[in-house]
Structure 1
Amino acid sequence: MNALFKALDDPTRRKIIELLREKDLSAGEIAEAFNISKPSISHHLELLKKAEVVVAVRKGQFIMYSLNTTVFDELAKWVMDLLKKDK
């Protein structure tokens, strides 16, 4: 859970998540949405992968990134459990 919160703590990574909510994208397609270097995008994608927020799958010569919605389901369950304890 700590890795997830660290991943969500950065506006660039949150924007990547928003982009991937629409459709799976390659690193190059993700980089086109930002005015930062491709190595920086790769770093952000690596942190998102470590937090299991995104999944990377090789398709031909490209690596396609997609959201791992299971992580968000677990986060939502955790928040709901916290809210139930307050009542």
Structure 2
Amino acid sequence: MNDAFKAIADPARREILHLLRGGEMTAGDLAQHFNMTKPTMSHHFAVLVNADLITRRRDGQTIWYQLNTTVLEDVIAWAMDLTTRTKDKGKI
């Protein structure tokens, strides 16, 4: 889960996740939303894939990316649990 938090710490990667909420997109389609070099975009994709926040599949020369909602749900549940525990400690 630590990799997931490191991945979402970067605003560009959060924007990639936001864009993928609408469904699967190609690397090229995602890259059009950013003013970055291809190697920089590839790095962001790799960080998100390594954190299991997105999946990729190759179709010929095209790489498609999609949200891995299972891992995102786990991260959100963990954050909500942490928030609840923090609030409950204040009530002691």
> Normalized against structure 2, the TM-score is what?
0.85
Task: State the Cα deviation string for residues 29-63 of structure 1 (Å, max 9, x = none).
Answer: 11111111111000000000000000001123211
Q: Runs (4+) of structure 1 moved beyond 3 Å?
A: 84-87
Contact in 2 for aligned 1:58/1:64 (Cα 8 Å): yes
Aligned to 1:6: 6
Aligned to 1:50: 50
- The structure with more radius of gyration: 2
Identity %: 45
| Structure 2, unpaired ranges of 5+ | none
In the alignment of these two chains, the number of paired residues is 87
Aligned to 2:64: 64
Q: Distance in 1 between matches of 2:38 and 2:26?
A: 12
Aligned to 1:75: 75
